[in-house]
Copies of this chain bind each other. A is one copy, B any other.
């Protein structure tokens, strides 16, 4: 089958990520969709940059409208940003019967109603998973995964810049100004950080989430927005003493009188999972009447995470316009004739880290014997605790954490250690994962 033809508007940070992901994972993506997805045209005002990225693999133009009008393009990805030219381009693409994928939350929060009406009229889809919380598939969760629920409320950390600043202020005792400058140095905040720190970006995203949760039109202008620039160390400390953390939260809630739609610094109990979301990460808590509270966590911005969402939308659209309905998403995620043959490894071949506890006689040379056995089997020790013997006790506990090792070797090591006359009983072994 002919590959889906995609036109990319803007090959900057996110656009470059989309190009990379589609290239790197082309094989798996085709195994999933049953059809290749190909960016055949790229429009960028910096044609040289664009050409240096795509080489000869796509046509490069500087006229975005020319791309949108090209009959060969099936899907247009809008990554230009802003709400003026981007809007015209998106509407033009829709009028020409092209599907659109966009990461542009400002555009959707302010002109979404018009754009979706045009899409409906022209029988095209507008994918916008990338517009909220980067690679976290929260749009799909709300529209499909949680569709059985009457959503009661949503509370989200949906601006990574602000969350980074608040984490810095709490962890390091930095002032707001210092934390902001640190965020700018690391590239987490723009030269003009207003949209991030004053809650405007979060309000754009919250407007979208609110519309999806409650089935209401986009109403960004009615959102209440308060940023973090006036927060002080003093309040962060007092909140901490009372068992709370301060986060910039987007909250939208259905009440008997209407819908709450608000972004502001918020104290939340320190023991809640979402209170422990640090740095530039995002997390969204959704309360449904059937499912209860569910949370979605991940990178809320950045080239590859945002590209992950853009490409997921491309796949969705490709599947819908390609497959029979009942074969849209394969049962095991990949086309049944394209399953992989990777073997499942026996546990002996697995590599992980280990916690080893053993009881030994409190006598010189014991540790040397044990560590030699481990070294011979290429098991290296990351941390070790030897407990002091209790009064009158003649044996002690030794606890070791190992670096990554092959399980087979650990089994052999344990057997050898257990045979040492200075070791009492069995070695307790629990596996350890750093999850990084």
Contacts and interface: CB of A to CB of B under 8 A. Distances in A.
A238 B357 contact: yes
A399 interface: yes
A251 interface: yes
A304 B292 contact: yes
Q: Is the interface of A mostly helix, strand, loop or mixed?
A: mixed
A29 interface: yes
Contact of A349 (B244, B258, B314): B258
Given A266-B430, A311-B290, A332 B297 contact: no
Interface in A92-123: 99, 112, 116-117, 119-120, 123
Nearest to A117: B336
A143 interface: yes
A233 interface: no
B385 A215 contact: no
A84 to B, nearest CB: 21
A393 interface: no
Interface string A254-297: 11011111101111110011101100000001001111111111
Oligomer copy total? 2
B255 A345 contact: yes
A146 B137 contact: yes
Give the one of A120, A274, A430 with max B CB within 10 A: A430
A299 interface: yes
Given A268-B435, A332-B211, A25 B149 contact: yes
B435 A285 contact: yes
A140 B140 contact: yes
Contacts of A343: 257-259
A276 B336 CA distance: 37
Interface string A329-368: 1111110101111111111011110010100000000000
Contact of A435 (B142, B218, B269, B344): B269
A325 to B, nearest CB: 4
Contact of A351 (B255, B297, B298): B255
Contacts of A352: 251
A168 interface: no
A296 B294 contact: yes
Contacts of A186: none
A236 to B, nearest CB: 10
A304 B152 CA distance: 15
Contacts of A28: 150, 215
Interface stretch (A55-63, A124-132, A191-199, A417-425): A124-132
B242 A383 contact: yes
Given A144-B315, A311-B147, A268 B298 contact: no
Given A272-B435, A432-B267, A399 B238 contact: yes
A389 interface: no
A205 interface: no
A234 B357 contact: yes
A200 interface: no
Interface stretch (A5-13, A66-74, A316-324): A316-324
Contacts of A129: 145
Contact of A215 (B31, B148, B305, B397): B31
A212 interface: yes
Give the one of A241, A347, A385 with max B CB within 10 A: A347
Contacts of A320: 325-326, 328
A143 B260 contact: no
Contacts of A294: 135-137, 296-299
Going nearest first, the 3 A-B pairs with the smallest beta carbon separation are A137-B145, A148-B311, A215-B334
11 contacts: A123-B324, A143-B333, A238-B399, A241-B385, A258-B342, A265-B430, A267-B433, A268-B433, A269-B435, A276-B276, A320-B328
